[in-house]
Amino acid sequence: MEGDAELSDLYRDVLLDYYRSTAHKGRLESPDVRGHGVSPICGDEIEITAKNRQGRLGPIRYSGRGCVISQASSAMMAQALEGKTLAEVRSLMEAFGDMMLRQGPVDSLPEDLEEAKALEGVRRFPARVKCAMLSWNTLRLGLEKPREAVEFREEGS
Amino acid sequence: MDPASLRQDFPILQRKVRGKALVYLDNAATTQKPSRVIEFEKAFYERHNANIHRGVHALSEESTALVDESRAKVARFIGAGAREIVFTRNATESINLVAHAWGRKFLGPRDEILLTEMEHHSNLVPWQLLAQEKGVRLRFVPVTPQGTIDLESARRTITPKTRLFAFTAMSNALGSINPVRELVALAKENGAASLVDASQWVPHLRTDVAELDCDFLAFSAHKMLGPTGVGVLYGRQKLLEEMNPFLGGGDMIGQVWLERSSYADPPQKFEAGTPNIAGIAAFAQAIDYLSEIGMEAVRRHEIALTQRALEIARAQSGVELYGPADVNERGGVLSFNVADIHPHDVGQVFDSEGIAIRAGHHCCQPLMSKMRIGGTARASFYLYNTIEDVEAFGRGLRKVKEFFKVKEAVGHGR
What is the average pLDDT value for chain B, to the nearest integer? 96
Mean pLDDT of the B375-400 span: 97
Q: Classify B191 as helix, strand or coil.
A: coil
Q: Please write the tens of the pLDDT for every residue from A92-116.
A: 999 999 999 988 788 889 999 999 9
- DSSP letters, B278-298, are HHHHHHHHHHHHHHHH-HHHH
Q: Please write the tens of the pLDDT for every residue from B294-341.
A: 999 999 999 999 999 999 999 999 999 999 999 999 999 999 999 999
pLDDT tier at B54, thresholds 50, 70, 90: confident
User: Is residue B232 within 8 Å of B267, Cβ to Cβ?
Assistant: no
How many Å separate Cα B385 from the centre of its chain?
A: 18
Predicted pLDDT at B53: 87
- DSSP letters, B148-166, are -B-HHHHHHH--TTEEEEE
Name the closest residue on chain B to residue A3, using Cα atoms. B352
Say what the alpha-carbon torsion angle B204, B205, B209, B214 is, to the nearest 10 degrees.
-80
User: Is residue B280 within 8 Å of B226, Cβ to Cβ?
Assistant: no
Q: Please write the tens of the pLDDT for every residue from B151-176.
A: 999 999 999 999 999 999 999 999 99
Distance CA B351, CA B114 (A): 39
pLDDT tier at B414, thresholds 50, 70, 90: very low
Distance CA A27, CA A91 (A): 25
Helix axes B387-403, B343-352, angle to 10 degrees: 120
Distance CA B227, CA B230 (A): 7
Predicted pLDDT at A153: 78
In Å, how far are A61, B231, B252, B284 from B235, measured between CA atoms? 53, 13, 17, 19
Distance CA B178, CA A79 (A): 49
Q: Which of A149-153, B125-129, B260-264, B363-367 has the lowest mean pLDDT?
A: A149-153
Residue B245 pLDDT > 90: yes
CB contact under 8 A, A6 and B18: yes
Q: Please write the tens of the pLDDT for every residue from B86-127.
A: 999 999 999 999 999 999 999 999 999 999 999 999 999 999
Residue A157 pLDDT > 60: no
Predicted pLDDT at B411: 45
Other beta carbons within 10 angstroms of residue B388's beta carbon come to 12
- B352, B360, B363: residue with CB nearest A7: B352
- A7, A42, A157: residue with CB nearest B349: A7
- DSSP letters, A40-100, are TTTTEEEEEEEEEETTEEEEEEEEEE--HHHHHHHHHHHHHHTT-BHHHHHHHHHHHHHHH
Q: Which H/E stretch holds residue B390?
A: helix B387-403
Q: Please write the tens of the pLDDT for every residue from B173-211.
A: 999 999 999 999 999 999 999 999 999 999 999 999 999
pLDDT tier at A156, thresholds 50, 70, 90: very low
3-state SS, A11-38, equals CCHHHHHHHHCCCCECCCCCCCEEEEEE
User: At a CB cut-off of 8 Å and minimum separation 6, what does B63 contact?
Assistant: B44, B48, B49, B50, B51, B52, B277, B281
Beta bridge partners of A6: none
Tell me, what DSSP letter sits at residue B183?
Answer: H
User: Is residue B295 within 8 Å of B46, Cβ to Cβ?
Assistant: no
Residue A154, judged by CB atoms within 10 A of its CB (0-12, 13-18, 19+), counts as middle
The ipTM of this complex is: 0.88
Question: Which one is catalytic: B282, B363, B371, B392?
Answer: B363
pLDDT tier at A87, thresholds 50, 70, 90: very high
Residues of B within 8 A of A43 (CB-CB) are 360-361, 365, 368, 374-375
User: Is residue B33 within 8 Å of B19, Cβ to Cβ?
Assistant: no
Q: Please write the tens of the pLDDT for every residue from A4-56.
A: 998 999 999 999 999 999 999 999 999 999 999 998 777 789 999 999 999 99
Predicted pLDDT at B102: 98
User: Is residue B168 within 8 Å of B154, Cβ to Cβ?
Assistant: no
- B342, B354, B365: residue with CB nearest A67: B342
Distance CA B59, CA A52 (A): 71
CB contact under 8 A, B361 and A42: yes
CA proximity to B158, closest of B122, B180, B184: B184
User: At a CB cut-off of 8 Å and minimum separation 6, what does B133 contact?
Assistant: B104
User: At a CB cut-off of 8 Å and minimum separation 6, what does A13 contact?
Assistant: none
Q: Please write the tens of the pLDDT for every residue from B66-82.
A: 999 999 999 999 999 99
CA proximity to B47, closest of B346, B390, B223, B277: B277
Active site residue B214: no
CB contact under 8 A, B375 and A43: yes
Residue A147 pLDDT > 80: no
Predicted pLDDT at A58: 87
Q: If phi over 0 gives left and psi between -120 and 50 gives alpha, with beta otherwise, what is residue B58? A: alpha
Q: What residues in chain A have their Cβ under 8 A from chain B's Cβ atoms?
A: 2-4, 6-7, 10-11, 16, 41-44, 65-69, 125, 128, 131, 157
Residue A29, judged by CB atoms within 10 A of its CB (0-12, 13-18, 19+), counts as exposed
B199, amino acid identity: S
Q: How many CA atoms lie within 13 A of B352 on its CB side?
A: 24
pLDDT tier at B409, thresholds 50, 70, 90: low
Distance CA B356, CA B280 (A): 27
